[in-house]
Structure 1
């Protein structure tokens, strides 16, 4: 069976490190029509997979020694058999691969949580390098039907500028410095 329609969204959880916060997250998730939720600010230690009581799966990437930042994916029960892989690149970048058909084509989802403007340019550049490295990496024989990059970019893109091919015309507001850097990254 080929996957033809998926409901994919992103959610800033602000923390899933305690039972109380996880219960709040679960209550919010139950209100969302979704197949996959990319999560920013997971704030769990290490990387791993949790098989949840509702039969969903949480895949996450965080720091080994602290509960800060973190990204992950919440995968609905009907899709967990299609998970082809999860790659925790850093506490700010992770990849989920899902089989979309019987020919082993995959959907590639990349979840990000970018550093805020309070972080140095070096930290932001390291984040962009992680995304670039992941985009350039492909295992032998992998065929991606589509790649989707989603998450919290902590940037204001604003309105599309002249000659930008990677950004759509539905931006809003004024672009900030991080938005400019993100737009340059997307256009290259």
Structure 2
């Protein structure tokens, strides 16, 4: 069974907000967390030492929207 979560980020424009997501995610059991309203102007792909991978897309020119996904350690190697 796969555990898929959703999270309305409201913004991931700052590094602090991304780090907060990672701290919160480590407190729950998940395989994939789908992220909405990331509002980033530049894409981001980060592989953490723990094996988790974070993919964030961009928002539109007005700073609206944006999606991403956080993949847990055991699934990241399959991407």
Aligned pairs for 1:150-161 (under 5 A) are none
CA RMSD of aligned residues (A): 2.0
Higher relative CO (CA 8 A, sep ≥ 6), structure 1 or 2?
A: 2
Distance 1:66 1:45, change over 3 A: farther
Instruction: Name the one with the larger helix percent.
Output: 1
In the TM superposition, 1:6-155 aligns within 5 A as 6-63=2-59, 67-83=63-79
Scaled by the length of structure 2, the TM-score of the pair is 0.80
Query: TM-score normalized by structure 1?
Result: 0.38
- 1:23-56 Cα distance to aligned partner (Å, 9 max, x none): 2211211222101000011122233422124321
Q: Is the 1:40–1:70 contact (alpha carbons within 8 Å) kept by the matching residues of 2?
A: yes
Contact 2:38 2:59 in 1 (8 A): no
Corresponding residue pairs, total = 79
Q: CA separation of 1:66/1:30 partners in 2, compared to 1, >3 Å: closer, same or farther?
A: farther
5+ residue gaps, structure 2, are none
Whichever of the two has the greater Rg, that structure is 1
